[in-house]
Amino acid sequence: MDLLHGALGADEDQALEIAVAHALLRGVSRGDSGAVLRVYRPTAPVVAFSRRDSHLPGFDAAVRAARDAGFQPLVRPQGGRAVAYTEQSVVVDHVSPHPDFPAGLNERFTDYGHLWADVLREHGVDARVGAVPGEYCPGAYSVNARGVVKLVGTAQRLVRQAWLFSAVAIFDGAEVLRPLLTEIYAHLGLDFDGSSVGSVREEVPDLDLERFESAVIASYGALTELTPTALDDGVVSAAHDLAVDHRL
């Protein structure tokens, strides 16, 4: 499986980072490439809303709150509700051919949820798979610590012949995310408890981000051989075209 490691660049629009996953999914569905694993750290803070969020009465106010806090508001194609993350996060987009569409959705949620939980446990986190009360973008396959705080959110998108499994791990910055998400979810009129937002660093203070990111990549490498690969120019070009779909 090809490994694409790293963000596009320090000055790149975060909409383009999200659009890369969209472009990779399209390419794999056409048979342009095999499975791809992309791992990167955002270079700017983001609030990624869902299409469902955009239809709620308080959406415009939620977008303003994100901008006022210095976060770039975007729309993502996968996932149920708004998520927020900073440069102290790890994003994984895993794209694979899938001739048996749409089978395997729940199995992937389970398998990769446990993969993330295993990585966290290896570093001393009491990690579990499952939602915690009041979490952002609630889902049965979130990865939490102690059954109390959410650390990793997961989402999927399926198209014919391919799937995308995305995960965002909050390594640090929970103290910034809690008040922001509280305000955003209040504008959206959705249930939320700010105390449900956690971070890996709060669970394991002596763990550094580089070591954690390397452990995530190694966990995927234990499943299949990873081949470090440069991002194809055609994918980047397609992402530039698709980024408009994610900007607000």
Q: Indicate if the pLDDT at residue 172 is higher than 90.
A: yes
Domain ranges of the chain: 2-245
**pLDDT value, residue 91:** 98
For the segment 185-210, what is each residue's pLDDT rounded down to a tens digit? 999 999 999 999 999 999 999 999 99
**pLDDT value, residue 10:** 74
Mean pLDDT, rounded, for 91-101: 91
Mean pLDDT, rounded, for 232-240: 95
Distance CA(163)–CA(94), nearest Å, equals: 8
- Lowest-confidence region among 21-25, 101-105, 118-122: 101-105
**pLDDT value, residue 133:** 96
Q: Indicate if the pLDDT at residue 100 is higher than 90.
A: no
Half-sphere exposure of residue 136, counting CA atoms within 13 Å on the CB side? 32
Mean pLDDT, rounded, for 162-166: 96
Distance CA(53)–CA(58), nearest Å, equals: 9
The CATH class given to the 2-245 domain equals alpha beta
Write down the mean pLDDT value for the chain: 95
At residue 103 the predicted structure's pLDDT band, cuts being 50, 70 and 90, is: confident
For the segment 55-71, what is each residue's pLDDT rounded down to a tens digit? 999 999 999 999 999 99
Q: Return all residues near 140 (Cβ < 8 A) that are at least 6 apart.
A: 109, 130, 131
Mean pLDDT, rounded, for 160-166: 94
Q: Which helix (H) or strand (E) holds 115?
A: helix 105-122
Asked if 203 and 212 count as a contact pair (C-beta separation under 8 A), the reply is no
Q: Indicate if the pLDDT at residue 102 is higher than 90.
A: no
Q: Indicate if the pLDDT at residue 146 is higher than 70.
A: yes
**pLDDT value, residue 167:** 97
**pLDDT value, residue 79:** 67
Mean pLDDT, rounded, for 17-44: 96
Q: Indicate if the pLDDT at residue 139 is higher than 80.
A: yes
Q: Name the E strands within 99-239.
A: 127-129, 143-145, 149-159, 161-170, 227-228
For the segment 4-28, what is each residue's pLDDT rounded down to a tens digit? 999 998 777 999 999 999 999 999 9
Q: Indicate if the pLDDT at residue 229 is higher than 80.
A: yes
Question: Is the pTM higher than 0.85?
Answer: yes
